[in-house]
Amino acid sequence: MATSSSKLSELTRDEINHLKQSLHVPQSGQSTTMEARLLTVQEECVQLLESASVRKAHIRFVIPRQGIKSDESIIDKINSQRRDKGKDLSLSALNDLIGAKVLCPYPTDVEEVLDWLYEDDRPFRVFPSREKAKQEREEKERDRGYRSYNLTLQLTVSHCTQRNLPVGAQNDKFELQVKTLLEEAWDAKTHDVTYKGPSEIDRNLRDHMKLVSKSLVALDEQTEVLRQQIMEEKWEKEQRKRNAALLFVCMNLTPEERNKIAVPDEDPSLWTEDSIQRMNIQLEGLTGDFDRAKALGHTLLAIIADDPRHSEEALLTINTLVSKNVKDPNWLRLRACIRWSLGYVKSAMDDLLDCIAMAEASLSTKSDDTMDAKNDFLYYACDLQTLSYEFAKHAQEIAAEIEQHLEGLQNEELSAVAELYDTLGRYYIVFATKLASVDKGREFLDKALNLSTVDEERHAVARAFHWMHLYEAVKQMGRFVQRTPLPATNEPHL
């Protein structure tokens, strides 16, 4: 690119013909045209963006340009640079013949994408530097309210060689715009106006456009705040589910099994890396008739380490046990516990329905075992945001049956059914349609906690469940309070 302080004349007819030939006709020693090579480079860059590690979490759309920049647009751009800035651009100097847009839901997603783009091990170089790109973005925003990171990508020589791309591909420039969905909407609405230089736009109009752009910035920031709140609530819910799953699995282990696989005695949230590693070693060396402990042990490690290998091993082991004991409903109940703990809630509930049906049809099954399976079904149902008609019907029937069962017990029998009160309380809270149901659920939670005091170990577990479910009650109460208008009165509200 040659530069001059004086303005240059526009392209002559011969120069335009030469430019078109350079673009659309194979040059000496080349087997393909520059246009075809550019489209190959664009496709390669888009594939890299589509397969990026940040794609799923932070990129909503990757929108490639439809073909390369038109001949007319190229000629207009070169003439504009000659006429207004005295720059004599060549085809190879243009950085926007090909390109794409990366659209992100939120401003923090844009930053995550930039982090990924500027990492050292990428198969492309990025221009300008991140700091310079930020400065250019801020300048455009001040001038006309335009907000986007405009970058240039060039594939590395090693990547072009590895991918067998056409000769010269490493020199081609790929324009990448990174912005939020709102910024793209604003750009699309104002492109025809803002594409002109700032000096060509009426000052009042320019100020008005910048004001609207700032409003969109504020809206982007507010949606970011909402997103963070949603993510925090989702994380809290996942943590509560994780803790509940760990407690459920531990409750199913016998003292001998706990000792065999080295499960620590303290609360799962206090387990150290060393204790988890000991469990792993014990499981690997487990032999003999301890498949039940093996299934539960791998479930614990799957929850703690979030390792799919442990999930697969747990499910494989429990499925084998269920197939070997097809007439024993207790194995179905155990598989339901493992499936629920690993996130397969609906499969767990299907298992429990089969377990209940089998138990009720069997004369050898204890009534307490059947009630425990129903209790599990009701508890798992609370983890689904919406229930199918079949599940909802069963949940209502089981809740009514458990409540009736509890009403018929004598005082000396109640300490053994604290878990039923806890589950029933959670059910009333989670599926409450009025505030009174939440209050009733809290009463059941308190009763469950009080009944568990006869056994210190059970009380510790009950207390953990109590606080998890009480948190759900507080959140549910907050929703009802927000929906209920304050009474019309002149008295101050307390």
Give the 3-state secondary structure of the chain. CEECCCCCCCCCHHHHHHHHHHHHCCCCCCCCCHHHHHHHHHHHHHHHHHCCCCHHHHCCEEEECCCCCCHHHHHHHHHHHHHHHCEECCHHHCCCCEEEEEEECCHHHHHHHHHHHCCCCCCEEEECCHHHHHHHHHHHHHHHCCCCEEEEEEECHHHHHHCCCCCCHHHCCEEEEEEEHHHHHHHHHHHHHHCCCHHHCCHHHHHHHHHHHHHHHHHHHHHHHHHHHHHHHHHHHHHHHHHHHHHHHHHHCCHHHHHHCCCCCCCHHHCCHHHHHHHHHHHHCCCCCCHHHHHHHHHHHHHHHCCHHHHHHHHHHHHHHHHHCCCCHHHHHHHHHHHHHCCCHHHHHHHHHHHHHHHHHCCCCCHHHHHHHHHHHHHHHCCCCCCCHHHHHHHHHHHHHHHHHHHCCCHHHHHHHHHHHHHHHHHHHHCCCCHHHHHHHHHHHHHHHHHHHHCHHHHHHHHHHHHHHHHHHHHHHHHHHHHCCCCCCCCCCC
* pLDDT of the residue at 43: 95
* Paired residues of 152 in beta bridges: 127, 175
* pLDDT of the residue at 3: 46
What are the residue boundaries of the structural domains of the chain, listed by start? Answer: 2-225, 232-483
* pLDDT of the residue at 206: 67
The pTM assigned to this predicted structure is 0.54
Top CATH class of 232-483 equals mainly alpha
Mean pLDDT of the chain: 84
Q: State both tokens at 487.
A: 């009474």
| Residue 392, phi-psi category: left (phi > 0), alpha (psi -120 to 50), beta (remainder) | alpha
* pLDDT of the residue at 486: 47
CA 491/CA 494 separation, integer angstroms: 9
* pLDDT of the residue at 46: 95
* pLDDT of the residue at 354: 94
Place of tokens 């794409």: 100
* pLDDT of the residue at 163: 94
For 380-423, write each residue's pLDDT tens digit. 998 886 778 888 889 999 999 999 999 888 776 777 788 899 99
2-225: CATH topology is: Beta Polymerase; domain 2 (3.30.460)
The residue ranges of the chain whose pLDDT is under 50 are 1-5, 486, 489-494
